A and B are shown apart, each in its own frame.
Chain A
């Protein structure tokens, strides 16, 4: 009887307390927030000259490996513009076409080959964004990192400069700046 009672109490009490507490602070899905960050990067990053052929060419966001965003990323950038540029989102089967991407997202599913994938990005003007812990150490430009329930970003300025990016001080001031060991 005691176990039964305690279980009911445990759950019952939790339910009541929760109901009384009213609306908790809303929590967003991690990948909705990361998608919003990708959109923001386009606003706070300046691509090297000649990246785009025309002033109104879209910004191509490519996802390598499994797509953790579901349809969140497409829905988010649909109809949005940064300057005159709209967005396209596509999944890349391999890295051969990585050079045409302006933002290249390498998801956590690719953790085993992240280093190899980054080694395959040879052209400047590809903003590499990843989410494994050592993404910047492996040669990526912007790494997402979770600090408790919040998304943080880490930027390797040296890698960014090698890829000919200019990153706004606004974005830099909010990011953790790291340096790859020589």
Chain B
């Protein structure tokens, strides 16, 4: 509360001192040259489109990214209200939207240029292989709330959409190099140019090396990592109506870390082991956009995604995915704007144990086919009232047919004020582990002496978790300098995953008592909350963006459930988060940017609340060279952000760090 009061006072003070009217000189007296050189304050085109969207959306712009000084995507997402980002160790992050945070968060879909990087093997995104050079990101759109109608399964609580820059916007040479106390070395070399008169391209190579972090007792962990990432993007104007985009990446990384493993010895025992996680991640994507004579648009996208990931839960994982998607966007009559699409995805997954404590999957290899179709119609009901109705229909190899409908009503009361309300259903498709896991997760002393082995089993009857969501929002462009965004939501979750204790049995071959746990769908939850953010250009040179989110969640187990922990999992995500960013041009060539983030404690995980302060000083030498120095987590020597209850990633603390970087464009 005191934080809020101080903030209000601080801002009030700032307004009085800094607010100054927009200059009102007669611009018709300006020459063309003058008009081209005046600085304008503007609401971006994306923001204009977004102001008419019937969903809770937040856009991280390229400018936000540059001025954040962040070198990884999870850190960039910390500024988004309603998103909880918690670093577990030096190379693992827990990232969730509106609750259910975990080391592999299974209710958030993550896309890079329309390519899903959510792996169904474990139901989630592996943030350590989601690497896009920050300089090449056009924007990141974060949609809070279900996105199943357009994006399909697993967009249950939201979608994170990373969109890279068109290659015409990255021509020339770009070299960055930097290093600091945590990230000891980082470098990017990129070249962009033309291919004939119709095409452009860029190629890049990036390297990063990150130090070990420290456990809470001060001891160094063995969780350092490094990565090499090469990639390209090429865009072609095939004709005035056809564009083609092709891009690809190859990322290799090696990371350390500690896992709490259960060893099948006599008696079984648990011990912390150092693990080595290696990744080879490759992808290639092509998209052909065609504009028809009548203004309609079609798009055909094909991608191939390959991941070889060794060391996660002691397994060697290999996943190959091919996805083909067609979309057609057309106007039907004067009042209907229709988008429909078809999608086919085939994913071949092979997960083999590579350590004695490894997770086992039955069957080890599996190929899944996903067929889906969606249609969405934006209907103009009145002059400024739009109703969007639609649904996804899909068929997956686990639960068969699924549907994900939604309705959104948008009322643009005036140019400056937009009200919206929506309701949706969305699902999470079962992971391979939900069906076929066999994983020794712990040991338990037996009443009569001896030690029992706790083993988690998959459940072939596991069904899709699903959600019903209701939300409403209001956006205002109060004046050219100030915009506000409010969202409130009420969400009901059904058939949530639980782990149910089963009757213990004696495994004769191993000579020990097994205490089985089995996945079930025996919990439900209700959550509600509010999210707020504002962008305020206090002066032409100073912009601040405050945000706040409240999440109130209650998870309840069904009467038939015996899961002892599930009701406490609502405490895996903070109830309150508050953030404020300040972007300040001290001089024409000197930028000072800060962000302050408050995250309330995680009751279930015994993580206390914390405050992060990050700050960046950027100095431009002419138009082409930028020096920046970034300090992160400046307030405390180190703090804890998350605790992975599965034991797969032993948590370390996030330390205070500094980082210097030179960016050179020519």
Seen from chain A, the residues whose Cβ lies within 8 Å of a Cβ on chain B are 2-4, 6-8, 10-12, 14-15, 17-19, 21, 23-30, 32-33, 35-37, 39-40, 44, 66-68, 70, 76-77, 80, 108-109, 111-113, 115-117, 119, 131-133, 137-139, 146, 149-153, 170-171, 174, 180-182
Say yes or no for B48: interface residue by CB 8 A criterion.
yes
Known A27-B41, A131-B45; 15 more pairs at CB < 8 Å: A2-B636, A21-B587, A24-B540, A26-B39, A27-B38, A27-B40, A27-B540, A29-B40, A39-B28, A137-B237, A149-B39, A151-B38, A174-B32, A181-B198, A182-B239
Given A21-B586, A40-B32, A68-B415 in contact, is the A119-B293 Cβ separation under 8 Å?
Answer: yes
Let me know if B219 is at the binding interface, CB within 8 A. no
Contact with A along B281-293 (1 / 0, CB 8 A): 0000000000101
Q: Which residues of chain B are near A152, meaning CB under 8 Å?
A: 36
A35 to B35 Cα, complex, angstroms: 10
Contact of B32 among A77, A137, A139, A171 (CB under 8 A): A171
User: What residues make up the interface of B, taking CB atoms closer than 8 Å to A?
Assistant: 2-3, 6-7, 10-11, 13-14, 17-18, 20, 22-23, 27-28, 30, 32-33, 35-45, 48-49, 52, 197-198, 237-240, 291, 293-295, 297, 329, 331, 337, 412, 415, 480, 537-542, 580, 582, 584-588, 592, 594, 596, 598, 611, 613, 634-636
Given contacts A18-B584, A33-B40, contact A10 B594 (CB under 8 A): yes
Contacting A149 at CB < 8 Å: which of B32, B40, B49, B592? B40
Q: Determine the residue in chain A with the shortest Cβ distance to B166.
A: A133
Q: Known A6-B596, A170-B32; judge A132-B45 contact (CB<8 A).
A: yes
Q: Which of A35, A67, A116, A182 has the most CB of B within 10 A?
A: A116
Q: Which residue of A lies closest to B539 (CB)?
A: A24
Could you list 25 A-B pairs, sorted by A, with CB under 8 Å? A2-B611, A2-B636, A3-B596, A8-B6, A10-B582, A10-B596, A10-B613, A12-B10, A14-B542, A17-B586, A18-B542, A29-B22, A29-B40, A36-B28, A37-B32, A40-B32, A40-B35, A66-B415, A76-B28, A115-B295, A116-B295, A137-B237, A149-B40, A150-B39, A181-B198
Known: A28-B40, A33-B27, A36-B27. A181 touches B540 (CB 8 A): no
Main SS at interface, chain A: helix
A96 to B373, CA, bound (A): 36
Which residues does chain B contribute within 8 Å of A33, judged by CB atoms?
A: 27, 35, 38, 40
Return chain A residues, CB-CB under 8 Å to B48: 68, 108-109
Cα of A11 to Cα of B611 in the assembled complex, Å: 16
Given the known interface contacts A4-B3, A181-B238, the answer about A18 and B17 at a Cβ–Cβ threshold of 8 Å is: yes
> In the complex, what distance in Å separates the CA atom of A67 from the CA atom of B32?
23
Contact B240 A182 (CB under 8 A): yes
Contact A151/B35 with A2-B636, A8-B10, A24-B540 known, Cβ cut-off 8 Å: yes
B36 neighbours in A (Cβ, 8 Å) = 150-153, 174
Q: Are A150 and B38 in contact (CB under 8 A)?
A: yes
Indicate if the CB atoms of B22 and A67 lie closer than 8 Å: no
A153 to B32, CA, bound (A): 11
| Interchain CB contact under 8 A, A26 and B294 | no
With both chains docked as a complex, state the minimum distance between the C-beta of A99 and any C-beta of chain B, in angstroms: 18
Report the minimal beta-carbon distance from A135 to chain B, rounded to whole angstroms. Answer: 11
Contact of A17 with B584 in the complex, beta carbons under 8 Å: yes
- Nearest to B52 among chain A residues (CB) is A109
Q: How far is the CA of A149 from the CA of B36 in the complex (A)?
A: 10
B17 touches A15 (CB 8 A): yes
By Cβ-Cβ distance, the 8 closest A-B pairs, closest first, are A116-B295, A27-B540, A30-B42, A36-B27, A11-B10, A3-B611, A149-B39, A26-B23
Question: How far, in Å, is B477 (CB) from chain A's closest CB?
Answer: 10
Please indicate the chain B residues that have their CB under 8 angstroms from the CB of A131 in the complex: 45
Name the residue on A nearest B541 (C-beta).
Answer: A24
Least CB distance, B458 to chain A, in whole angstroms: 44
Closest residue of A by beta carbon distance from B42: A30
> Do A7 and B6 form a contact, CB below 8 Å, given A18-B539, A25-B540, A40-B35?
yes
Residues of chain A lying within 8 A (CB to CB) of residue B415? 66-68, 70
Q: Which residues of B contact A146 (CB under 8 A)?
A: 40, 42, 44
B6 contacts A15, C-beta separation under 8 Å: no
A14 touching B582, Cβ below 8 Å: yes
Q: What's the nearest-Cβ distance from chain B to residue A89, in Å?
A: 14
